[in-house]
Amino acid sequence: MKILGFIIQKEFKQIFRNKGMLPIIFVMPIVQLLILSNAATFDIKNIKFSYIDHDHTPTSRALIEQFDASTYFNVVTDFPSENKAQSAMLKGDVDVVLEIPNHFERNLVKGKNIPLGVTINAIDGAAAGVENVYITQILQRFNKAIQLNVFQPTNALSKPVNILTIPSFWYNKTLNYKTYMVPGILVLLVTMITLFLSGMNIVREKEIGTLEQINVTPIRKREFIIGKLFPFWVLGLAILSIGLIIAKFVFNVPIVGNLGLMYLYTSIYILVILGIGLFISNFTDTQQQAMFISWFFMVIFILMSGLFTPIESMPKWAQLITEFNPIKYFVEVMRMVMLKGSLLNDILPQLLKTLLYAFVMNGLAVWKYRKTT
Amino acid sequence: MSISVSHINKSYKDIRALQDVSFEVKKGEIFGLIGPDGAGKTTLFRILATLLIADSGQASVAGHDVVKDYKTIRNCVGYMPGKFSLYQDLTVEENLEFFATIFKTTIKENYHLIEDIYKQIEPFKTRRAGKLSGGMKQKLALCCALIHKPEVLFLDEPTTGVDPVSRKEFWDMLKRLQQKGITILVSTPYMDEASLCDRIAFIQDGKILEIDSPEAIVKHFTKTIYNLSANNMYKLIESLKTYEHAHSVYPFGEFVHYTDTRDVFDIDELQHYLKNIGLNDITIEIAKPTIEDTFMALAK
């Protein structure tokens, strides 16, 4: 026990003496959380909207005003011809071009169907889809208003039946994107810091030759590994705490669930990551190698974690792979506990899978670790 | 026997690092492994320090088998690798304390053993190990290897890259440790250090060439050695090499060491030959063979 305590003490000393690493460990998470949470948003705003109005009537102008009034669209300009609009789109000056045909008002009053031309820059397919929905909504609303104005109801029977939907968004009432993102980014930070640091730590001793000296001592494998990894386990929890404080006080993310439950899950989760880090360091000889391999796993884990894209929309095989992704469980648990106030029972499946993962990873890593070469 | 090695073989892919190596070291002896870089010295150390498993053969340290009883060995040997391998970001004192603790002892308990050496670096005990000079690093490494009172000390090229004064001090320390009953296995590429060992083994290309005391090993050298010098040393070596009776020619300090194939030969004849070539100020005298001469002869 005394030896273990001493190794841990030594490890902490080394971490706090590493002038290059220290700011990265503590400043990087804060900066990333502040920047990413504000910047990484799927809300599509400030769409550069332009139009070609062949009609020039009060009705066509009223339609344009609808777009102008919307917070999603910025009416940039209008074009006299289709050619001009096309070249502007090519240059990227506009995202959407709405073309209003000749006799728009007249045909509308006559009750004819009028085709409107909508051109959307679809290089970013997801954004284009969202833009299309916004445009359709505005047009439908406009259509309904026109109908009420133009066709005066002659009797009560022919009155259009309006079905009104009142959506109610649970767990994130205002559809605040940050509420959704902050727990996810927090997960990312805890994972990155603990994986990179633990992965490189033992390799570093290999690189500078101290491992050789350590290996001829009677120190036990168990003591050495626990002594090396424990500080990073503590660091991981420290980063979680910093992140939660920022989430609460800077982003005002509601923390509905039990904090203890979050810490319980995270403490098990970090064990998985430390196991992966140790496993990587067994197979690498330099910090550079360890870093690249860690990155490889990190990128796959992040992109397949459901953090940025919903897992439900991935192909079947990819969904299967995500079952082995520890980050996926962590993201799920954080969002469930933080935003929904889920209890131990609700996150039990994730908790058990993570626990199993921790045993397998650490078992493999310790088994593969050799004091001799 | 403190260290016993018998018929050890070790290969790295197709390089045979050690071939049928056998030797024994008595308790309290300073045993030197002398050989050029790449001779297999470090491999041998790593096998004895239980870091590497030999392909075949047996070895024991302090009476324990290096494979079966590796745990016991790790408690009773001190190993100082060729490369400085202490924590550079910990201070002198912290390093020493760390190694004392993982060997379940304290600095106080074995202070008498390291006192002589540690006193020299004690003024710098709060300095980070990475900021020490080469000589001081070696002293600290030796302290760390000694702190658990080992029976056997393995020193892999401890003086490589250390200045001559520190080298001499280092060897004085080894002599003192020997008096305390510690067996020392030391490797070095320096021939002058070889004469400070009780016994030495010449090792080259993974094979042991000769084992004996430094005095005895010189006596193995039966040929007469001549110290030659002339005004143009390069030309002297070149012309000696082409001399029909030349047995060996190599530079040795300010002289050229020369041996002849014949048991008896006329110095004047050689002098005449060199003069004809155009060399001046030729001196030829009989020299006492050194360990280096013996090694050169054996390594041929």
Whole-angstrom distance, CA of residue B159 vs CA of residue B168: 9
Residue B198: what pLDDT?
Answer: 92
The tokens for B293 are 């001469």
- Both A112 and A194 in one domain: the answer is no
User: What is the model's pLDDT at position A158?
Assistant: 47
- The pLDDT tens digits of the residues spanning A287-322 come to 899 999 999 999 999 888 888 778 888 889 988 888
Q: Which residue in A has a C-alpha nearest to residue B94's C-alpha?
A: A10
When the pLDDT of each residue in chain B is averaged and rounded to a whole number, the result is 88
What pLDDT is recorded for position B32?
92
CATH number where A80 lies = 3.40.1710.10
In a domain, A169, yes or no: no
Whether B114 and B256 share a structural domain? no
Instruction: Assess A71–B contact: CB distance below 8 Å, yes or no.
Output: no
Residue that the structure tokens 């004392």 belong to? B100
Contact with chain B for residue A151, Cβ under 8 A: no
Interface size, chain A vs chain B, as Cβ–Cβ contacts under 8 Å: 68
- 3-class secondary structure, B255: strand
Question: Which of these three, A104, A128, A158, is where a domain ends?
Answer: A158
Domain boundary among B168, B200, B219: B219
Mark whether A221 and A323 lie in a shared domain: yes
- The predicted model gives B142-160 an average pLDDT of 90
Q: In this predicted structure, what is the pLDDT of residue B59?
A: 92
Neighbours of A98 (CB within 10 A): 25
> What is the dihedral angle through the alpha carbons of A208, A211, A213, A214, rounded to the nearest 10 degrees?
140
What mean pLDDT value characterizes chain A?
A: 84
In terms of domains, do A77 and A133 share one?
yes
Contacts of A6 in chain B (CB under 8 A): 98, 101-102
Domains of chain B: total: 2
Strands in B199-204's sheet, in edge-to-edge order, are B77-80, B152-156, B183-188, B30-34, B199-204, B207-212
- Provide the domain limits for residue A273: 15-40+178-368
Residues A148 and A30 in one domain: no
How close A279 gets to chain B, by Cα (Å)?
A: 20
Instruction: Name which of B52, B89, B101 is nearest A17 (Cβ-Cβ).
Output: B89
Q: Let me know whether A193 and A295 are in one domain.
A: yes
Q: How many CB atoms lie within 10 A of CB B282?
A: 16
Q: What are phi and psi of B28, to 5 degrees?
A: 75, 20
Q: What is the mean pLDDT of residues B239-253?
A: 85
Contact check, Cβ <8 Å, B86/A213: yes
One domain, residues A26 and A111: no
Do B83 and B94 touch, CB atoms closer than 8 A? no
pLDDT at B182: 92
Q: Which of B83, B95, B98 should be substituted to probe chain A, the one whose Cβ sees the most A Cβ atoms within 10 Å?
A: B98
Whether residues B85 and A373 touch (CB distance < 8 A) is answered with: no
What residues form DSSP beta bridges with B202? Answer: B34, B210
Does any CB of chain B come closer than 8 Å to the CB of residue A6? Answer: yes
Is A342 part of any domain? yes
Strands (E), chain B: 3-12, 15-25, 30-34, 56-61, 64-65, 77-80, 152-156, 183-188, 199-204, 207-212, 225-229, 246-252, 255-260, 283-287
List Cβ neighbours of A340 (8 Å cut-off, separation of 6 or more): A171, A256, A257, A346
- Asked whether residue A31 is domain-assigned, the answer is yes
Local structure of A237: helix, strand or coil: helix
Is A142 contained in some domain? yes
Mark whether B198 and B53 lie in a shared domain.
yes
Which of A6, A13, A372 has its CB closest to that of B50?
A372
Residue B180 has pLDDT above 60, yes or no: yes
Q: Which residue of A has its CA nearest to B89?
A: A14
Q: Are residues B151 and B16 in the same domain?
A: yes
Statement to judge: residues B243 and B137 lie in one domain: no
- The verdict on B244 and B152 lying in the same domain is no
Of the candidates B219, B250, B271, which is a domain's last residue?
Answer: B219
A246 shares a domain with A215 = yes
CA angle B174, B113, B159 (to 5 degrees): 30
The alpha carbon of residue A185 is apart from the nearest alpha carbon of chain B, in Å, by 33
Residue A170 in domain: no
State the smallest CA–CA distance between residue A15 and chain B in angstroms: 10
Is B101 at the interface with chain A, CB within 8 A?
yes
Query: Would A83 be classed as within a structural domain?
Result: yes
Residues B211 and B235 placed together within one structural domain of the fold: no
Same domain, B252 and B204: no
Chain B's closest residue to A208, CA to CA, is B85
Tell me the residue range of the domain where B96 lies. 3-219
Tally of structural domains, chain A: 2
- Cβ–Cβ under 8 Å, residues B217 and B255: no
B83 to chain A, any CB pair closer than 8 A? The answer is: yes
ipTM above 0.90, yes or no: no
* Same domain (yes/no): B205, B231: no
A221-249 and A259-283 helices, crossing angle to 10°: 130
- pLDDT of amino acid A116: 83
Cα–Cα distance measured from residue B63 to residue B76, given in angstroms and rounded to the nearest whole number:
11
Q: Where among A107, A129, A158 does a domain terminate?
A: A158
CB-based contact A18 B103, cutoff 8 Å: no
The dihedral of CA A285, A288, A294, A299: what is its sign? Answer: negative
Q: Give chain A's end-to-end CA distance (angstroms, integer).
A: 27
Q: What is the pLDDT of residue A156?
A: 47
- Residue-wise over B187-202: b if at least 16 C-beta within 10 A, else e? bbbebebbbbbebbbb
Residues A86 and A149 grouped into a single domain: yes
Predicted confidence at residue B221, as pLDDT, reads 77
| Residue-level pLDDT at A146 | 74
Segments of chain A scoring below 50 in pLDDT: 156-161
Domain boundary among B180, B195, B219: B219
